[in-house]
Amino acid sequence: GLPIELQVEKELGITKEDIGKKISVEEYNQRCRETVMRFKAQWDELTQQMGYWVDLDDPYITFEPEYIESCWALLKKLYDKGLLYKGYTIQPYSPAAGTGLSSHELNQPGTYKDVKDTTVVAQFKVVRDEASEKLFASAERVSQRPKGGDIFILAWTTTPWTLPANTGLAVGKNIVYYLVDTINPYTKEEISVVLAKELFDKYFVHSMAGPESDYLTNAGEQKGELPLFDKKGRIAKWFVADEFTGADLVGIHYERLFNIEAGFPHFEGEENAFRVIVGDFVTTEDGTGIVHISPTFGADDFRVAQLNGIPALMVADDQGKLGPIVDRTGRYVAQMGEFGGRWVKNYDGHDQTGADYKTLDESIAIRMRTNGTAFKTEKYEHTYPHCWRTDKPVLYYPLDSWFIKTTAVKDRLIELNKTINWKPESTGTGRFGNWLENLVDWNLSRSRYWGTPLPIWRTQDGTEELC
């Protein structure tokens, strides 16, 4: 499997992209076979030490034709029952390994690591039309600002590199949102913003009654001028103009954050994008109570976008083939303007300790602070999944794969699990039972060369298929 491939690539000094160019697939697989057998004695010894009851004198070997053909026979049965299909979903993907990862691989010990990333609260500028008129009417009725002032919807993300792929904003249907007159902390421009009522205190000082030492002095302030921020960076200048539920905000349109005028690519279906929808996963635990939707880089994003007819932002390459803004090596595609070719995570092993080095997330945050589209940027510690073999960050990425439709037999699997005499009993009702309750279709295929080939022949246009 994957560990063998990575070992061979390391020994040969190649990457997955070199297979078929610097070395043939046949030669590569032969090296993998030799590497497997090189460690057979160690595996046999470990198996005996574990007390694993298998016949080591006549073992089954997964690369032998007999084993492969037994897999093919089972796959054929699944195919004939309509339980094997090709689909496009957002999957955990390791750019460093060049393959998708199963839920089992993603839950290996140590795969989730504490990291400190740049986060951004982005400002999405509301388009004034029939759907948003209620916001503008409220702002102009009660605020001191002149007519025609800009209103922005605030959304927080721990992955700023996904913001150029944004095509929607999700709100909680019953969550209460404030419309607040305030300023942009970086440009000091007077604006109105929308965020969840429960998260108001995270960004605004609720009272000026605290000691003077709690507040920062304004740069170039006039005598007697009130401070704009406290030492937590919260804004002291604000006025709540109105409140709405998430349902009131649905259908509001906003301007694209990284647009064509700024050198970013056009995409198909743009006319159906950039609007507010309801998301069943939106909470007020953190952020702003509004979720930025990037259908190409999140499973929930993909699902809720499909339900609401929100397109994914896919760009055409030099051959006209559509794809996401990040390629399979973990870099922005060339069409991404000033950021084209940049790594979205540290996949190249670059030294990030230099004072002048900026990650892509940091570069995006700086750009947004400068042009007034960032309301807040800061470092934030959280857990992030890493590839269990390469120790590099995982992306959630759009992949074509073959799936076994396990959801079609989910109820039967749950029923049979209850008949098993688990020791300890908590295993069946706990970890394994919970896994069955949340079962998704099994991503069977891998984008690799050393493995059981799928016995499926398909025309390029997908009109004919044989298993």
What are the structure tokens assigned to 191, written together?
């604006």
- Strands (DSSP E) contained in 315-354 are 315-316, 322-323
So what's the pLDDT on residue 261? 81
At residue 223 the predicted structure's pLDDT band, cuts being 50, 70 and 90, is very low
**Residues present in the chain in total:** 467
Burial-class residue 390 by CB neighbours within 10 Å (0-12, 13-18, 19+): middle
Separation between Cα atoms, residue 360 and residue 331, nearest integer Å:
10
Q: Average pLDDT, stretch 150-170?
A: 97
Bridge partners of 179, per DSSP, are 194, 242
**What angle, 0 to 180 degrees and rounded to 10, lies between the N-to-C axes of helices 25-38 and 2-12?**
110
Separation between Cα atoms, residue 250 and residue 257, nearest integer Å:
19
In the predicted model, is pLDDT for residue 168 greater than 50?
yes
Q: Which residues contact 66 (CB under 8 A, 6 or more apart)?
A: 60
* Region label for 220, one of left (φ > 0), alpha (ψ between -120 and 50) or beta (otherwise): left
In the predicted model, is pLDDT for residue 147 greater than 80?
no
Bridge partners of 158, per DSSP, are none
What are the structure tokens assigned to 2, written together?
């994957």
So what's the pLDDT on residue 418? 92
Residue at token pair 């709100």: 171
Q: Average pLDDT, stretch 355-376?
A: 91
Name the residue with higher pLDDT: 192 or 88.
192
Percent of the chain with pLDDT over 70: 92
Residue at token pair 């339900």: 307
Buried b (16+ CB within 10 A) or exposed e, 261-293: eeebbebeeeeebbbbbbbeebebeebbbbbbb
Burial-class residue 337 by CB neighbours within 10 Å (0-12, 13-18, 19+): middle
What are the structure tokens assigned to 443, written together?
């991503």
List, for residues 135-145, the tens digit of each pLDDT value. Answer: 999 888 876 66
Strand-strand pairing, 457-458 and 168-171: unpaired
So what's the pLDDT on residue 356? 61
Question: Which of 8-17, 181-190, 269-278, 326-335 shows the lowest mean pLDDT across its residues?
Answer: 8-17
Separation between Cα atoms, residue 362 and residue 373, nearest integer Å:
14
Backbone angles phi, psi at 375, to 5 degrees: -95, -30
Q: Is 435 helix (H, G, I), strand (E, B) or coil?
A: helix
So what's the pLDDT on residue 330? 94
At residue 262 the predicted structure's pLDDT band, cuts being 50, 70 and 90, is confident
In the predicted model, is pLDDT for residue 452 greater than 50?
yes
Reference 238, options 195, 278, 204; nearest CA is 204
* 171 membership: H or E segment, kind and range: strand 168-171
In the predicted model, is pLDDT for residue 221 greater than 50?
no
Burial-class residue 350 by CB neighbours within 10 Å (0-12, 13-18, 19+): exposed
Bridge partners of 343, per DSSP, are 331
Name the residue with higher pLDDT: 215 or 146.
146
The per-residue pLDDT of the chain, averaged, comes to: 88
Residues 206, 198 contacting (CB under 8 angstroms): no
Separation between Cα atoms, residue 401 and residue 404, nearest integer Å:
10
Name the residue with higher pLDDT: 415 or 322.
415
Residues 158, 292 contacting (CB under 8 angstroms): no
Residue at token pair 């990425």: 397
Q: Which domains does the chain have, with CATH numbers?
A: 43-103+391-405+441-466 (no CATH), 113-385 (3.90.740.10)
In the predicted model, is pLDDT for residue 175 greater than 70?
yes
The top-scoring range by mean pLDDT among 39-43, 45-49, 138-142, 431-435 is 45-49
Separation between Cα atoms, residue 240 and residue 197, nearest integer Å:
10
Reference 301, options 453, 167, 116; nearest CA is 167
